[in-house]
Amino acid sequence: MFGCFISLFLLLDLLFPFKPKVQYSTQITANDGTILHAFLSPDDKWRLYTNISEITPLLQKTLIHKEDQYFYYHPGINPFAMLRAAGRNIFSGKRTSGASTITMQVVRLLEPKKRTYLNKLTESFRAMQLELHYSKDEILQLYLNLVPYGGNIEGIKAASLFYFGKMPQLLSLSEITALTIVPNRPSSLRPGMRNDALITARNQWLTRFSNDNLFDKSTIQDAIAEPLTVKRLTTPKQAPHLAQRLKKDFPDQPIINTTIKIQSQKQIEEQVKNYINRLQSMNIHNAAVLVINNETMAAEAYVGSADFNNPFDGGQVDGIRAIRSPGSTLKPILYATAFDKGLITPKTALNDVPSNFSGYEPENFDQHFNGQVTAEFALANSLNIPAVKILKEVSTPVLIDKLKKADFQTIRKQSKDLGLSMILGGCGVSLEELTRLFAAFSNEGELKPIRYATENPVSKKGEQLVSKESTFLLNNILTQITRPDLPTNFDNTYHLPKIAWKTGTSYGKRDAWSIGYNRKYTIGVWVGNFSGEGVPELSGTNTATPLLFSIFNSLDYNSSRSWYQMPENVSLRKICAASGDIPSDFCDHQITDYFIMGVSPYRKCQHLRYVFTDLASKISYCTYCLPESGFVKKTYPNLAPELIAYYESKKIPYQKLPPHNPSCERVFREGAPLITSPNDGSEYFIQTNEPQQIQLSCQTRNDVQEVFWYVNDKLVKRSSPHEAVFISPPIGRVKISCSDDKGRNSDISILVKKI
């Protein structure tokens, strides 16, 4: 008979399986398990998933004694309790006692139905099914996840957080007892509204526990004496941007464990909010901050905006993932690439002078030029002209490929349309991408993914983006504090952190960036308006960097002063201070410079050149016209044409070559004039009723005294090399030529059209 019952039960279990599917709220937790953020379940309940580990022995003992003392002994139904309840109900003529076990209550919570004898029978069958397929601890866990606490609050974890502001494992006996009795009378004992009745009922049950010797007398007395102050608390709302992001990334996961440190998150959220409040009068309304632990690549703080709840300034926009113009923040990866390609070293001389790159004429942020500078000075001072020149030499496709490797998604999409302007902000990046890139500089050039969830493993080995040798050179440059992007008087007012950092300001002053790193952290800061409105006072130096320094000081104030060790393949060598190249016999001012062995350029210095002149230095000779006597060998600056043009325009004195021997008949071939205006291959539109003129200009070698301008092979003007010449061009295809007094010639062509 019993065997037939078992067989029938197993058959019914097979035909009518019971597979509970509970819709939980999504919890976003910090790295210590503290809830950062929570979302309503799909059915609009606060039903927070409780792990078995969160069910303490005290909670388990109290609940089982009150609800189902034989929970660990029955198969889902308690026959003796059912017989006792049936007898009482029959003799009294009404329902006076129930016989529901915890397992049966779970079934009722999963499949609520009217209380009829047939439904009771179904409930009993389902309870035994639960017992067959789930352990006792799992059933108890289901009960504690589903038990109602009034309104839309369900489960012990939600009740514990909303009524007591703590996790279930921190509840006292007094609080546990109060929460275990609320589900029996959720309306009359609702916490926060019926606290007096709840205290009375709690004390009655504590007295019963004492009578049953469940706890010792002193424990019960302490629990009764404990005040019970209960009120409905608000939902945890830390890191809202990250919470929404991870909820989309892990849609079916009830608990998402992040790498966020809750104290750091709260602190930085407060810092950002207070900082932006001080900038409101300047029409600057938002900021975003991302903090990465360099060793684990864990995001320890994620602040997407100054105030998530501010609808007027786009508070719900995630500034960490928003696509913005990077300003000058991509220059470090360009210089590191140039170091790796052996194009430059830190003290290589570069010309910061007005330059024309096929019609593109960039300017520096301060609209001033510095003449000849070193590469490290150019990067530390974020000069634009040297950066564009280096990019032209490195080539735009090489830098784009490097940024694709670093997973810059927008640059990947824009790659076909990007040119030299990308290094000055003519592309789209996110704060997340930039911060990850700078974290690679901290990790000796290894690019690793950012970890937002603890489920993501720590990457032991990343992808080598640039060499550790070039990152060492880069770190030395970016730690300099004698630079213009140090905030005004910051070093005299605050503790200056030991970090490497780079600032950036986008065109139109719409975005201010400051990304910094040390051995422990990489921190990315963006400040601006999500509307894209520019602000004259906005700059990476004075707007974003003070916040960067403040966050570094709050997170790592007493950080170790140790810095990055010099790799074995990096060494020091003597170079000429004027050029940054290996000294020649005329280099009398030598300094030391870092270089990468076997990679860095090994060029002999040519900042001077030997020239034969007459005794009075009035005429120069080439080897073709050198007389037998009456000459001397002297050194003269070997200046680039662009630098000569800059000196001429600024009236900066420099040593000029004497005119070449007028009697010389040699034909010179190298060093032809460089036509800088107009641009070769350009189209010009001219109104026929109001003819306009176009400017002719060129750059020449140091030995040129006069140039000759031709239009369609007809001489139109002879002038000094740096004199601006204006012409009225004919309509159609126009050939423009420039010849110098050595016979060297350059040609370009333009197309002139009528409008």
CA atoms of 636 and 568, how far apart (whole Å):
39
pLDDT tens digit sequence for 292-341: 999 999 999 999 999 999 988 899 999 999 999 999 999 999 999 999 99
Amino acid at 272: V
Environment class of residue 16 by beta-carbon count within 10 Å: exposed (0-12), middle (13-18) or buried (19+)?
exposed
User: Average pLDDT, stretch 241-252?
Assistant: 92
Beta-bridge partners for 610: 635
Evaluate if residue 466 carries a pLDDT over 60. Answer: yes
Q: How far is the first Cα of the chain from the last one, in angstroms, to the nearest whole number?
A: 105
Evaluate if residue 700 carries a pLDDT over 50. Answer: yes
CA atoms of 115 and 121, how far apart (whole Å):
10
Exposed e or buried b for every residue in 586-609, given b needs 16+ CB within 10 A? ebeeeeebbbbeebbeeeebebbe
Q: Which two tokens stand for residue 78?
A: 């308690």
Band (pLDDT 50/70/90 cuts) for residue 84 is low
Cβ(491)–Cβ(467) below 8 Å? no
The percentage of residues in the chain with a pLDDT greater than 70, rounded to a whole number, is: 93
Of the candidate ranges 272-286, 512-526, 712-726, the one whose mean pLDDT is the lowest: 712-726
Angle between helix 331-340 and helix 384-394 axes, rounded to 10 deg? 50
CATH for the 674-754 domain, from 3.40.50.970, 2.60.40.10, 1.10.10.10, 1.20.120.1810: 2.60.40.10
Class level of CATH domain 2-225: mainly alpha
Which helix (H) or strand (E) segment is 136 a member of? Answer: helix 136-146
The CB density around residue 370, as the number of other CB atoms within 10 Å, is 18
Evaluate if residue 275 carries a pLDDT over 90. Answer: yes
pLDDT of residue 522: 96
pLDDT tens digit sequence for 586-631: 898 999 999 999 999 999 999 998 899 888 888 888 888 888 888 8
Can you say how many angstroms the Cα of residue 414 is from the centroid of all Cα atoms in its chain?
Answer: 20
Please, which residues have CB within 8 angstroms of residue 175's CB and are 6 or more apart in sequence? 160, 164, 228
Evaluate if residue 502 carries a pLDDT over 60. Answer: yes
Please, which residues have CB within 8 angstroms of residue 121's CB and are 6 or more apart in sequence? none
Cβ(45)–Cβ(147) below 8 Å? no
Band (pLDDT 50/70/90 cuts) for residue 650 is confident
pLDDT of residue 264: 95
Exposed e or buried b for every residue in 226-261, given b needs 16+ CB within 10 A? bebebeeeeebebbbbbbbbbbeeeeebbbbbbbbb
Question: Strand order in 521-528's β-sheet?
Answer: 298-303, 286-293, 521-528, 511-517, 500-505
Cβ(531)–Cβ(555) below 8 Å? no
pLDDT of residue 72: 87
Tell me if the bond preceding 678 is cis, omega within 30° of 0: yes
Of the candidate ranges 182-186, 224-228, 667-671, the one whose mean pLDDT is the lowest: 667-671
Band (pLDDT 50/70/90 cuts) for residue 535 is very high
CA atoms of 395 and 350, how far apart (whole Å):
17
CA atoms of 535 and 527, how far apart (whole Å):
11
Of the candidate ranges 10-24, 169-183, 701-715, the one whose mean pLDDT is the lowest: 10-24
User: Average pLDDT, stretch 421-444?
Assistant: 95
CA atoms of 194 and 217, how far apart (whole Å):
27
Evaluate if residue 481 carries a pLDDT over 80. Answer: no
pLDDT of residue 569: 94
Environment class of residue 413 by beta-carbon count within 10 Å: exposed (0-12), middle (13-18) or buried (19+)?
exposed
CA atoms of 648 and 654, how far apart (whole Å):
9
Exposed e or buried b for every residue in 712-742, given b needs 16+ CB within 10 A? eeeebeebebbeebebebeeeebebbbbbbb
Band (pLDDT 50/70/90 cuts) for residue 557 is confident
Which of the residues 328, 382, 620, 739 is marked catalytic? 328
Please, which residues have CB within 8 angstroms of residue 187's CB and are 6 or more apart in sequence? 150
CA atoms of 683 and 680, how far apart (whole Å):
9
Most confident listed range (62-71, 564-573, 736-745): 564-573
Please, which residues have CB within 8 angstroms of residue 464's CB and are 6 or more apart in sequence? 445, 446, 447
User: Average pLDDT, stretch 418-446?
Assistant: 95
Please, which residues have CB within 8 angstroms of residue 707's CB and are 6 or more apart in sequence? 673, 698, 700, 718, 719, 720, 721, 738, 739, 740, 741
pLDDT of residue 492: 43
CATH 3.40.710.10 intervals, the chain: 300-309+316-556
Question: HEC states along 366-380?
Answer: CCCCCEEEEHHHHHH
Question: Strand order in 725-727's β-sheet?
Answer: 674-677, 694-699, 725-727
pLDDT of residue 460: 76
DSSP states of 486-528 as a string?
Answer: SPTTHHHHSPPP--EEEEEE-TTS-EEEEEEE-SSEEEEEEEE
Q: Could you tell me the CA-to-CA distances from 389 to 343, 370, 420, 468, 697 in Å, in that order?
A: 11, 15, 9, 24, 20
CATH number of 300-309+316-556: 3.40.710.10
Q: Using DSSP bridges, classify how beta strands 631-637 and 725-727 pair: parallel, antiparallel or unpaired.
A: unpaired
Q: Could you tell me the CA-to-CA distances from 4 to 7, 10, 76, 186, 485 in Å, in that order?
A: 5, 10, 19, 42, 86
Band (pLDDT 50/70/90 cuts) for residue 31 is very high
Which helix (H) or strand (E) segment is 141 a member of? Answer: helix 136-146
Cβ(239)–Cβ(258) below 8 Å? yes
Band (pLDDT 50/70/90 cuts) for residue 704 is confident
Angle at the Cα of 471 from the Cα atoms of 466 and 476, rounded to 5 degrees = 160
Instruction: Based on the residue annotation, tell me whether 67 is a catalytic residue of this protein.
Output: yes
pLDDT of residue 97: 45
User: Rounded mean pLDDT of the chain?
Assistant: 88
pLDDT of residue 90: 54
CA atoms of 636 and 639, how far apart (whole Å):
9
CATH 1.10.3810.10 intervals, the chain: 2-225
Question: Strand order in 620-621's β-sheet?
Answer: 620-621, 608-614, 631-637
Most confident listed range (194-208, 285-299, 361-375): 285-299
Taking the model in full, what pTM does it have? 0.86
Greater pLDDT, 487 or 99: 487
Cβ(269)–Cβ(310) below 8 Å? no
- Tally the residues of the chain: 755
Q: Which two tokens stand for residue 606?
A: 């040519």
User: Average pLDDT, stretch 746-750?
Assistant: 91
Which region, left, alpha or beta, applies to residue 93 given φ > 0 means left and ψ of -120 to 50 means alpha?
A: left
Band (pLDDT 50/70/90 cuts) for residue 80 is low
Which three-class secondary structure state does DSSP give residue 453?
strand
Cβ(12)–Cβ(125) below 8 Å? yes
Which of the residues 25, 41, 67, 432 is marked catalytic? 67
CA atoms of 356 and 746, how far apart (whole Å):
16
Please, which residues have CB within 8 angstroms of residue 497's CB and are 6 or more apart in sequence? 516, 518, 549, 552, 553, 556, 557, 559
CA atoms of 374 and 386, how far apart (whole Å):
9
Which three-class secondary structure state does DSSP give residue 194?
coil
Environment class of residue 143 by beta-carbon count within 10 Å: exposed (0-12), middle (13-18) or buried (19+)?
buried
Evaluate if residue 432 carries a pLDDT over 80. Answer: yes
Please, which residues have CB within 8 angstroms of residue 251's CB and are 6 or more apart in sequence? none
Band (pLDDT 50/70/90 cuts) for residue 96 is very low
Evaluate if residue 383 carries a pLDDT over 90. Answer: yes
Q: Which two tokens stand for residue 283?
A: 């029409």
Of the candidate ranges 8-17, 525-534, 588-597, 743-752, the one whose mean pLDDT is the lowest: 8-17
Cβ(729)–Cβ(711) below 8 Å? yes
Evaluate if residue 380 carries a pLDDT over 50. Answer: yes
pLDDT of residue 196: 85
Instruction: Based on the residue annotation, tell me whether 720 is a catalytic residue of this protein.
Output: no
Question: HEC states along 579-643?
Answer: CCCECCCCCCCEEEEEEECCCCCCCECCCEEEEEEECCCCCEECCCCCCCCCEEEEEEECCCHHH
Nearest to 151 by CA among 40, 60, 64, 27: 40
pLDDT of residue 754: 83
pLDDT tens digit sequence for 285-296: 999 999 999 999
User: Average pLDDT, stretch 500-506?
Assistant: 93
